[in-house]
Amino acid sequence: MIAPANAENQLEHALLQGRWTLFERLPAERHLAEELGVSRATLRTALSTLVGKGILETRRSKGTFVRALPCNPNAASLADSLKAMRIVMTPLLAAASGSYAPSVMLKLERHLPSIGMALHSGDMRLLAQHHLRFFSILLQAISNDCLAQAGAVTLPDACALARLLQECSQPRLEEIFKHLARTLHGLRHADSQACASSVSAYVTCLLQCLGEDE
């Protein structure tokens, strides 16, 4: 009998191998259990663990979706990911400003306090997950799947981002948070210029913490 931990490892490996992409819905439990060669009880335990890690997300009556990718030791360097994020995400979100449904804006407004709470608690792992969740919410709401995926692949590795945030000073962390709040403000008011400026400033702050000031 395969243990839940082994099933969890199988799922993480499959995610890193591209078996399912960001935001994609996983197969139904019965099919997924058969694919992994585990019982449904074992699968549920593994899925619950990955939900707790912020990798998967369960939506009532809709299924389980990929929320983030596991930490990948072979991922692109953090600096490269952030530079790609600035190049791709800045114009992408600026172009999408004004097109988001009120429900998306509401979700972000409710999510922003979670970022602030993680910041002030000093939990950098949770803070990194919340930062990535902020952008994931926006990407999930883009109707063009190709554009959404183009933005998703630039999101940095969660573990690497958490390590970087750990090294940032408190004033710098608060400055980074303000850029997220300003991004939301620009999106809410369909101000593409303000949105682009805030996203770019957000990434630039992270690069400065990394010693990659340009």
Please check whether residues 8 and 107 belong to one and the same domain: no
The end-to-end CA distance of the chain, in Å, is 53
Please check whether residues 166 and 201 belong to one and the same domain: yes
Place of tokens 């000093």: 122
* Arithmetic mean of pLDDT, 114-133: 91
Please check whether residues 117 and 53 belong to one and the same domain: no
CA-CA distance, 102 to 139, in Å (whole number)?
A: 15
pLDDT of residue 214: 54
The total number of residues shown for the chain amounts to: 214
Please check whether residues 15 and 116 belong to one and the same domain: no
Please check whether residues 55 and 111 belong to one and the same domain: no
Token pair of 50 as six digits = 């990955």
Please check whether residues 29 and 83 belong to one and the same domain: no
pLDDT band with cut points at 50, 70 and 90 for residue 159: confident
Q: What is the pLDDT of the chain when averaged over all its residues? A: 88
What percent of the chain has pLDDT above 70? 94
Check if the beta carbon of residue 23 is closer than 8 Å to that of residue 140: yes
In a domain, 214, yes or no: no
- Asked whether residue 28 carries a pLDDT value surpassing 80, the answer given is yes
Give one DSSP letter per residue of 29-71, joined into a string. HHHHHHHHT--HHHHHHHHHHHHHTTSEEEETTTEEEE-SPPP
CA-CA distance, 22 to 68, in Å (whole number)?
A: 6
pLDDT of residue 73: 60
Please check whether residues 51 and 105 belong to one and the same domain: no
Place of tokens 């953090």: 78
**Structural domain harbouring 149:** 78-209
Please check whether residues 174 and 202 belong to one and the same domain: yes
CA-CA distance, 59 to 181, in Å (whole number)?
A: 26
| CATH code at position 108 | 1.20.120.530
Please check whether residues 9 and 93 belong to one and the same domain: no
In a domain, 72, yes or no: no
- pTM for the full model? 0.75
Please check whether residues 10 and 41 belong to one and the same domain: yes
What is the domain count for the chain? 2
- Asked whether residue 2 carries a pLDDT value surpassing 70, the answer given is no
Using only the alpha carbons of the chain, give its radius of gyration: 18
| CATH code at position 46 | 1.10.10.10
* Arithmetic mean of pLDDT, 91-113: 92
Please check whether residues 82 and 126 belong to one and the same domain: yes
Please check whether residues 28 and 89 belong to one and the same domain: no
In a domain, 125, yes or no: yes
- Asked whether residue 201 carries a pLDDT value surpassing 90, the answer given is yes
